Structure 1
Amino acid sequence: MSARIYQRPKNAMQSGKALLDQWVLEFVPAEAKKPDPLMGWAGSGDTRQQVTLKFPDVEEAKAYAERYGIEAEVHATPPRRLKIQAYADNFR
């Protein structure tokens, strides 16, 4: 079993910053998705893809993974870059 631990990125469509401090543990898919012969929907028999665990910090997520023998890879959060720009800059 392998998983990845990451911090939620900010939603580009909203200005709010709710839930950005949460760390998420998601399992890596064990098998590829295949189309259902009747409806054509994509699916697989891997139910671990449906599980998403949330933690307040990265240390708790790592401890959980170690406790249950899950090989977890931590993805660092990229730094946020703000582009400070005045409205008048649009007319230069």
Structure 2
Amino acid sequence: MPARIYRPARTAMSSGTAKTHKWVLEYVASTAREVDPLMGWTSSTDTQAQVSLSFPTKEAAIEYAEENGIDVVVQDPHIRKPNIRAGGYGENFATHRKGAWTH
């Protein structure tokens, strides 16, 4: 069963980078999920899809996969350049401004 190794992206609701520094090994689901007709919940008989392992580095995750004979696909993250303004947020309230400040 194949697995993938990736570094999680930050959440869309936050600009912070918490939980994005570790690498994760997750198994790819081998069977489709089924909808329970009574409750409407989704379920699967594939228990490997529930496994998620965290590693401090990409090399550690790859080494673990090789030791245990796991076929893996490594997905490198798309690193975004930080958007830092000159002056930053405090520039909005500067007292040395020449001219009227408007939105």
Q: Measure the CA separation in 2 of the matches of 1:45 and 1:18.
A: 32
Q: Measure the CA separation in 1 of the matches of 2:42 and 2:65.
A: 29
Count of matched residue positions in the alignment of Structure 1 and Structure 2: 90
Alignment of 1:57-68 (within 5 A): 57-68=57-68
Unaligned runs of 5+ in 2: 93-102
The aligned residue for residue 17 of structure 1 is: 17
TM-score by length of 1: 0.85
Query: Percent of aligned pairs with the same residue?
Result: 46
Q: Which structure would you say has the larger Rg?
A: 2
The aligned residue for residue 69 of structure 1 is: 69
TM-score by length of 2: 0.76
Unaligned runs of 5+ in 1: none
Q: Measure the CA separation in 1 of the matches of 2:71 and 2:8.
A: 20
> Structure 1 stretches (4+) deviating beyond 6 angstroms?
none
Q: Measure the CA separation in 2 of the matches of 1:19 and 1:72.
A: 22
Q: CA RMSD in A?
A: 1.9
The one-letter amino acid of 1:54's match is S
- TM superposition shift of 1:84: 4.4
- TM superposition shift of 1:10: 1.3
The aligned residue for residue 50 of structure 1 is: 50
Q: Measure the CA separation in 2 of the matches of 1:40 and 1:82.
A: 43
